[in-house]
Chains A and B, each alone.
Chain A
Amino acid sequence: MSTILFAAQTECDGSLGKASLEALSAAKTLAEQLGADLAVGLVGSDVQAAADSLAGCGAKAIYGVSGDEFAQPRYATDAAALAALYKASGADIVIGAATSRMSRVLPGAAARVGGRSDTGVTALAAEGGKPVVTRWYYRQRMYAELTRQERPWFISVSTGCFTPYSGDAGQAQVTAVTAELPAGGVRTRNTATISPSAEEQTIRPDAALLFVAGAGWTKKQPDGAAHLEEAEQIILQFLGKSQGSLGTSKSLVDLSGEGQQVMSFLTHMHQVGQTGATPRHPKGLATCCHGEEPHTVGWRFIGERRAINLDANCGWAQGKADVVYVADAFEVMRKILEMMP
């Protein structure tokens, strides 16, 4: 009987994050559909608490690579841990979440053990006795359903695509696994996590709303002048009240490189679209945006979409947004701020 290994790194507090629980759900469902065994592989400083939280998941075995050196997200240690867990479990398929920590190591670990990898998988199911995954190509402009003969097959699943696992906790038996670290020793150390302060935080992956600010916010208004300072205040106040996440277009971020004034809080991290992120939020509100294909890519996984735009025929909105309000975004957003509690 084949084995599917769910692999995860623990959070700082020793628990498993929501994305990992989604990946466990995907792995468990696939194992049931294929009639395969489910195994769990955990990496962290101490994995017992995480293992206990999964005691009721039906895994045949739970393996753990633990120790202080495995607490930090680091390629050398994480790749060694994943390779060791794969070998200990004898799995055919390894499934993890597409978190930043797992994403930066899963394909490398697959290559290390002679396997193949597919990342950012948005659907996963058994068809005709074979596992079939769906993933996107060309920056979310097309998608493919595919399977592979090669094993092991390492798969990372995108967040927000599967229901997080929830089951009874208990006392789990963890089989300790030793990872083989590089002969030259561990040469990388994490020195800090640099996060914006709560007031400056405008990227919120779990927010219900994505607010997209387009280049129009920086352009001259009907009075012939640009109102950048007011635009900044409107956007930040709206984000504060709505607790939405902020996205923007490449054109707006790149203006800084051309020496033009741009909003002080916008960075490439906010960029969505062809060369930016493709976030997943239930709702999206685009303002002062224009454009065609590259912008659509950033919109791909947004649920309900509305736009405020002066051009009713803008390619950004036609056929892509549910509602387009043909109006001045400054005026509408000022009024929205008045109305919002």
Chain B
Amino acid sequence: MSAGFNIVVCGGIVPDPLQTLEPVKGPAGWGLKNELMLPAILDPWAGHALYEAANLAKNVPGSKVWLVSMGPKAKLQQVMMTIAQKVPFELVVLDGPSSGFVEADAVGSALAEAIEAIPGLDKSRLLVFGGWMSASRGAGATMQIVGEKLGIFDQFQGVDKLEANGDGSLRVLERIEGGSYQESVVAGPPAVVGWATGELSEPPNNPQVGMQNMRLVMPALQKAKPVKIEGGPEYAGVQIPSQKRETRIVKDTPVETIAKEIVDWLSA
């Protein structure tokens, strides 16, 4: 493809996975205790999508990557200080909630509107990337909804590999049950791709890329469009599972005894 791709990556922010999370109900509905204080990261699945997008753009001349992200501006700025050093992209910011409890349909609609509004975006060359899942709502719904709102009916989820063929078509590997892949070929863009982990490791920080990105990141944050997300389910309650097991510690025990106990347990 000589003209390259227009790759839009949808990626939200989530609390650092090492943080202990506790749900609380506030005036605006359910959220996390001290949510704004929790250190945030780019959603891991969205991260994979971004790195794959950058790699594809690097290998297909004429391509460009946008990152469309919704979250509180201050938190997004914090996350972008790190992410912007990874790969080149242009940021589009929606100043809204990043909570996992907000309605996926509303988030999908807002993201689709933001994509439609990107100046100069060529929808005939459009690939919409994002996480197959997320570390917040984890519904696997948002990317599908974005695609529907944009009228894109070639969609792939749980993708680990995407290759651009010489004839303009794309080869896609999607995860299916039992550690297998479904291989598909789509005639070309537009398409929605929800990434699993992909095959790339996290790129090292590159200060030059960071400086180049930050020239556009700061203005994007300043002109972020406020988004109000409305609607959603009626929560009867949100809880942390209370189950705590009484762990039996077996130590100073001969290996034979341990092995025998495990073998008996396996066959029981």
- Interface residue ranges, A against B (CB under 8 Å): 73-76, 79, 99-101, 103-105, 107-108, 110-112, 116-120, 127, 132, 135-150, 182, 187-196, 201-205, 209, 242, 254, 256-258, 268-271, 274-275, 283, 285, 292-294, 300, 304-306, 308, 312, 317-328, 331-332, 335-336, 338-340
Contact = CB atoms under 8 A, between A and B. Distances in A.
A336 B266 CA distance: 10
B233 A324 contact: no
B147 interface: yes
Given A108-B147, A268-B196, A306 B262 contact: yes
Nearest to B47: A275
Nearest to B180: A195
B153 A75 contact: yes
Interface in B142-168: 142, 144-145, 147-149, 153-158, 160
A146 B240 CA distance: 15
B179 A119 contact: no
A100 B176 CA distance: 6
Given A192-B183, A339-B259, A143 B108 contact: no
Interface centre among A111, A203, A254 (most CB of B within 10 A): A111
Given A100-B158, A111-B148, 20 more contacts: A73-B176, A76-B154, A79-B148, A107-B145, A111-B144, A112-B148, A116-B105, A138-B14, A139-B138, A188-B184, A190-B182, A193-B180, A201-B178, A201-B179, A257-B202, A268-B160, A275-B45, A321-B245, A328-B255, A335-B256
7 nearest A-B pairs in the assembled complex, by CB-CB distance: A257-B201, A203-B179, A108-B144, A107-B141, A326-B251, A335-B259, A268-B197
B140 interface: yes
A324 B179 contact: no
Interface residues of B, number: 92
Given A132-B236, A322-B248, A117 B141 contact: yes
A119 B141 contact: yes
B239 A188 contact: no
B245 A242 contact: no
Contacts of A254: 201
Contact of A188 (B14, B160, B185): B185
